[in-house]
Amino acid sequence: MYIEEAYYFWRMASDLMLNQDFDILHLSEERNEIWLEKNIKSKAYVVRITQQTFDWSNQLKRDQDTVTENLKRFKRQLVGREVEVHNVYISEFPPVDDWSDRKQPLHLNDRKKTTVYHHYITEQRTEHINDIYNELGLTEPSFVVPSELEMEQTIYELRRSMKRRHKNNQQKMQQIFSFGKPRLTYLLIFINLAVFALLEYQGGSTNTLTLIQYGAKYHPAIMDGEWWRILSSMFLHIGFFHIALNMLALYYLGSPVERMYGSVRFAFIYFISGIIGGITSFALTPSVAAGASGAIYGLFGALLFFGVIHKKLFFQTMGPNLLWVIALNIAFSFSIPQVDIGAHLGGLVGGFLASSIVHFPKRRSLQMQIGASILVLGVGVGMSWYGITNEENHYDPRLQAQVAQEYAKEGRYDQVIQLVDQTFRHIEASAELYFFRAIGYYKQGEIEKGIDDLKEAISIKPSFGLAHYNLSIFYQEKQNSEQALKHARKAVQNNPDDERFQELLQSLEKSG
């Protein structure tokens, strides 16, 4: 009797959903088919119920093959390392030919270990359904078969209750993604682009001095008390590719995070992530650094926290793709030397902890929030202390030489001398730094000091052709032709292809 089959179909489906906390994966009233799932620990249980009758076993086989194909699509939405599927047919009568081989469990070993059990129910339906519940580890339902008239009314009520629950669940899901609007995300993108345009106008976003002047992370300045650079460096970017990549990431990550958390929580997550990322960069990386990468990685952390709190929804939506993107970005950060890995990892951890502190709207977990607050404070203070005491990171000779070179190009020779003097108070002497200070002395008329510095540079690096070249010029001005010729020859000896060196040597040999 069709009505009785329909009754058992809706009675079992509604009991699993309303009383056993299963969620709907898929519902098709036209095909009399419903898929439900529930996660218990690390195992996902799936029940597919369908009301249909097969005349022949080959028809049943085709349907079971379809179930296997649909599982590949649904498994992306399932949480857990193992999947147990119960495929339930509620039918009027069994196939007329032999279908015993269709009753055997099917084991699928792909991304997740999966076992499919088939149940073909034609008679003693209540007992058979109880057996399925026992296999699922559920309490047996008490199905009382009413009259045919009552069945119709019961089916109507069960269908309406399930639809109402399903609609409420969907609304709750939508509310998670629509608490706020991404206004702050757009404002941050605008500010970053405006600051980038200012840098380009004022000397170029790839110019080291311009970056330092406008607030990039620069250790000597931070050690002099300019801790605000940890925050200001979040709004500076080095080159067009850097700003384009970060603003695209901010748009695609910031929008969903701000929608889920709201603008106030988003602001807290963004800036705490950026600050923790900046402090970690200060502790681990001596180079001049700038960019919103730490804060952007913090948005990754916020989405990971979403995965912890709403695990099922996370894996049903962005989860697998997001985890792959994070893994790819971290691998990229470790493989490219120029990437500030400290800022990235610090921002990721900071974003996760900051999200744990603010939690989701209308959600509270006092113990978690207090613990996360302590951890954020501990990470910030700990990395700051490590950065302050790790003096090797404060004055990088190569970076300081680069800054000195930029000062020299701009004719700021007093700052070249001051920079080198300050650096030498903290680190061992560097040939390049002696060289640039010599240029500074020379431009200020202190040739003897310049000669002394070039001698020091050569003693550290005997093959320093440019130092020999300049020393030759300095001696020439001091009218010491013997020393001028000596160092001109050494300059050519170390750099035979440099035309300037060749011309100077020829000129000195002719005049000699």
Task: Name the residues annotated as catalytic.
Answer: 293, 344
Say if residues 291 and 238 touch (Cβ distance below 8 Å).
yes
Handedness of CA 495, 496, 498, 503 (dihedral sign): positive
The owner of tokens 């620069």 is 218
Neighbour tally for 308: CB within 10 Å? 12
Cα distance between residue 18 and residue 429, in whole Å: 76
Say if residues 98 and 57 touch (Cβ distance below 8 Å).
yes
Q: Which of 159, 113, 151 has the alpha carbon at shortest distance from 18?
A: 159
Q: How many residues does the chain have?
A: 512
Say if residues 289 and 233 touch (Cβ distance below 8 Å).
yes
Token pair recorded at residue 379:
């990470």
* Three-class SS state of 106: strand
On the 0-12 / 13-18 / 19+ scale of CB atoms within 10 A, 331 is exposed
Q: Which residues pair with 114 in a beta bridge?
A: 83, 108
Q: Which residues pair with 34 in a beta bridge?
A: 27, 49
Indicate the residue type of 463. Answer: S
Query: Longest Cα pair distance anywhere in the chain, in angstroms?
Result: 125
β 33-40/23-28 pair status: antiparallel
CA separation (Å) from 82 to 17, 41, 107, 255, 404?
21, 10, 11, 33, 61
Cα distance between residue 223 and residue 387, in whole Å: 10
CA separation (Å) from 214 to 233, 241, 330?
8, 19, 28
CA end-to-end span of the chain: 120
Determine which helix (DSSP H) or strand (DSSP E) holds 197, and give its type and residue range.
helix 183-202
Indicate the residue type of 56. Answer: W
